[in-house]
Structure 1
Amino acid sequence: MAREFHRADRVADAMRRELSQLIQREVRDPRVGMVNVNDVEVSRDLSSAKVFVTLVGNDDPAAIEASMDALKRAAGFLRSQLARAIQMRSIPRLQFRYDETSVRGQELSALIDKAVKEDRKHSDDDSEEG
Structure 2
Amino acid sequence: MPINRVDRLNSLLKEVISDIIRRRVKNPVVSELITVTQVKITKDLHHAKVYISIIGDEKVKAETMDALDKAKGFIAVQASKEVVMRFFPSLTFILDDSVEKHMRIENILNQIHEDERKRGSKE
Query: TM-score under structure 1 normalisation?
Result: 0.89
Note the 1:1-130 alignment, pairs <5 A: 5-34=3-32, 35-56=34-55, 58=56, 60-126=57-123
- Secondary structure of 2:12's match? helix
Tell me, in whole angstroms, the C-alpha distance in 2 between the residues paired with 1:7 and 1:78.
22
What letter corresponds to residue 106 of structure 1 in structure 2? M
The code of the aligned residue for 1:22 comes to I
Q: Is the 8 A contact 2:31 2:60 kept in 1?
A: no
Q: Find the residue that maps to 1:32 and give its secondary structure.
A: coil
Local SS of the residue matching 2:91: strand
Compute the TM-score of the two structures, normalised by the length of structure 2.
0.94
CA-to-aligned-CA distance 1:54-113 (integer Å, 9 cap, x gap): 113x1x111111100000111000000111001111111100011010000010000000
The one-letter amino acid of 1:119's match is E
Q: Distance in 1 between matches of 2:110 and 2:31?
A: 30
Report the alpha carbon displacement of residue 11 of structure 1 after superposing the two structures with TM.
1.1
The DSSP-based 3-state class of the residue aligned with 2:53 is strand
Amino-acid identity (%): 27
* C-alpha RMSD over aligned residues: 1.1
Gap regions ≥5 residues in structure 1: none
Separation in 1, partners of 2:8, 2:114? 44
Aligned-partner residue type, residue 11 of structure 1: L
CA distance in 2, matches of 1:16, 1:115: 36
Alignment gaps of 5+ in structure 2: none
Please say which structure displays the higher CA radius of gyration.
Answer: 1
